[in-house]
Chain A
Amino acid sequence: MSALEDEEFRGFVAARGLALLRTAYLLTGDEQLAEDLVQTALEKAVTHWSSIRVAAAAESYVRRTMYREQVSIWRRRRVRELVSATIPEPRSAGAAGDEVEDRITMRDALLQLGRRQRTVLVLRYFEDLTEQQVADALGISVGTVKSQAHKALAQLRSTCADLAPTTGGDPR
Chain B
Amino acid sequence: MTTLEDRVRHALHDMADDVQPAHLLSRLDRHEGRIRRTHTRRRLAAVVAAVVAAVGIGSVLLLPIDQPNIIEPVKNPPKVFRLSDTTSVAPGRALLAVTLARPNPAVADGEHEDPLYVLPLTRGAAVHLPGSDRVPYSWSSELSADGTRLIRSNESYVDPHLEVVELATGRSDDLGDRKAYCPQLSSDNGTVVAYGPSGVQVFDVGTGSSRSLYRVKVTQDFPCGGLGWSPDGRRLVVRTDSGSVVIDRLGTVQLRLPDSYAVNSSMSWAPDGRRLLLYDRLHGEYEVVRPDAGSTLAMRWPTDALRPLGWAGHRVVWLAGAPGDYRLVTTDQRGRDVKTWMRFDIGDKPIEAVSWSQDLSGTAAP
Residues of A within 8 A of B (CB): 1-2, 5, 10, 13-23, 25-26, 31, 34-35, 38-39, 42-43, 46-47, 49-51, 53-56, 102-103, 106-107, 110, 121-122, 125-126, 128, 153, 156-157, 163-166, 168-169, 171
> Does the CB pair B282–A153 fall under 8 Å?
no
Q: For residues 22 through 61 of chain B, which have their beta carbon under 8 Å from a beta carbon of chain A?
A: 22, 24-28, 31, 35-36, 38-40, 42-43, 45-46, 49-50, 53
> Does the CB pair B16–A50 fall under 8 Å?
no
> Does the CB pair A21–B253 fall under 8 Å?
no
**Considering the chains assembled together, what is the distance between the CA atoms of A5 and B20 in angstroms?**
26
> Does the CB pair A128–B253 fall under 8 Å?
yes
> Can you show 24 pairs from A to B with CB atoms below 8 A apart?
A1-B35, A1-B39, A16-B258, A19-B242, A20-B24, A25-B15, A25-B16, A26-B15, A26-B16, A39-B26, A47-B39, A49-B39, A51-B42, A51-B45, A103-B11, A110-B12, A126-B12, A126-B16, A128-B252, A156-B8, A163-B4, A166-B3, A166-B4, A169-B3
Contacts of B16 in A (CB 8 A): 22-23, 25-26, 126
Q: How far is the CB of A150 from chain B (nearest CB, A)?
A: 11
Out of A16, A43, A54, name the residue touching B50 (CB < 8 Å).
A54
**Considering the chains assembled together, what is the distance between the CA atoms of A43 and B28 in angstroms?**
7
Q: Is B259 an interface residue (CB 8 A)?
A: yes
**Considering the chains assembled together, what is the distance between the CA atoms of A157 and B5 in angstroms?**
11
Q: Is B7 an interface residue (CB 8 A)?
A: yes
With most chain B CB atoms within 10 A of its CB, the pick from A17, A23, A106, A110 is A106
Contacts of B64 in A (CB 8 A): none
Contacts of B11 in A (CB 8 A): 103, 106-107, 110
Contacts of A157 in B (CB 8 A): 4
For A40, the closest partner residue in chain B by CB is B27
Q: Is B21 an interface residue (CB 8 A)?
A: yes
**Considering the chains assembled together, what is the distance between the CA atoms of A38 and B27 in angstroms?**
11
**Considering the chains assembled together, what is the distance between the CA atoms of A10 and B253 in angstroms?**
28
Q: A22-B19, A42-B28 are in contact. Are A55 and B12 (CB under 8 A)?
A: no
Contacts of A22 in B (CB 8 A): 16-17, 19
> Does the CB pair B24–A35 fall under 8 Å?
yes
The SS class assigned to the A binding surface is helix
Contacts of B17 in A (CB 8 A): 22
**Considering the chains assembled together, what is the distance between the CA atoms of A74 and B45 in angstroms?**
36
**Considering the chains assembled together, what is the distance between the CA atoms of A91 and B336 in angstroms?**
61
> Does the CB pair B7–A106 fall under 8 Å?
yes
Q: Is B79 an interface residue (CB 8 A)?
A: no
**What are the nearest 6 A-B pairs in CB distance?**
A50-B46, A169-B3, A22-B16, A1-B39, A169-B5, A106-B11
For B24, the closest partner residue in chain A by CB is A17
The SS class assigned to the B binding surface is helix
Contacts of A103 in B (CB 8 A): 10-11, 14
Q: A1-B39, A122-B12 are in contact. Are A15 and B259 (CB under 8 A)?
A: yes
Q: Is B123 an interface residue (CB 8 A)?
A: no
**Considering the chains assembled together, what is the distance between the CA atoms of A31 and B14 in angstroms?**
15
> Does the CB pair B19–A34 fall under 8 Å?
yes
Q: How far is the CB of B240 from chain A (nearest CB, A)?
A: 12
Contacts of B258 in A (CB 8 A): 15-16, 19
**Considering the chains assembled together, what is the distance between the CA atoms of A17 and B335 in angstroms?**
29
For B43, the closest partner residue in chain A by CB is A2
With most chain B CB atoms within 10 A of its CB, the pick from A18, A43, A163 is A18
Q: A16-B258, A19-B242 are in contact. Are A125 and B27 (CB under 8 A)?
A: no
> Does the CB pair A46–B22 fall under 8 Å?
no
**Considering the chains assembled together, what is the distance between the CA atoms of A23 and B242 in angstroms?**
13
Q: A18-B21, A25-B19, A42-B28 are in contact. Are A156 and B13 (CB under 8 A)?
A: no
**Considering the chains assembled together, what is the distance between the CA atoms of A109 and B38 in angstroms?**
44
Q: Is B105 an interface residue (CB 8 A)?
A: no
**Considering the chains assembled together, what is the distance between the CA atoms of A69 and B294 in angstroms?**
26
Q: Is B6 an interface residue (CB 8 A)?
A: yes
Q: How far is the CB of A105 from chain B (nearest CB, A)?
A: 9
With most chain B CB atoms within 10 A of its CB, the pick from A42, A49, A125 is A125
> Does the CB pair A38–B14 fall under 8 Å?
no
With most chain A CB atoms within 10 A of its CB, the pick from B22, B31, B53 is B22
Contacts of B49 in A (CB 8 A): 50-51, 54
For A60, the closest partner residue in chain B by CB is B294
For B56, the closest partner residue in chain A by CB is A54
Q: Is B9 an interface residue (CB 8 A)?
A: yes
With most chain B CB atoms within 10 A of its CB, the pick from A54, A103, A169 is A54
Out of B8, B21, B252, B294, name the residue touching A106 (CB < 8 Å).
B8
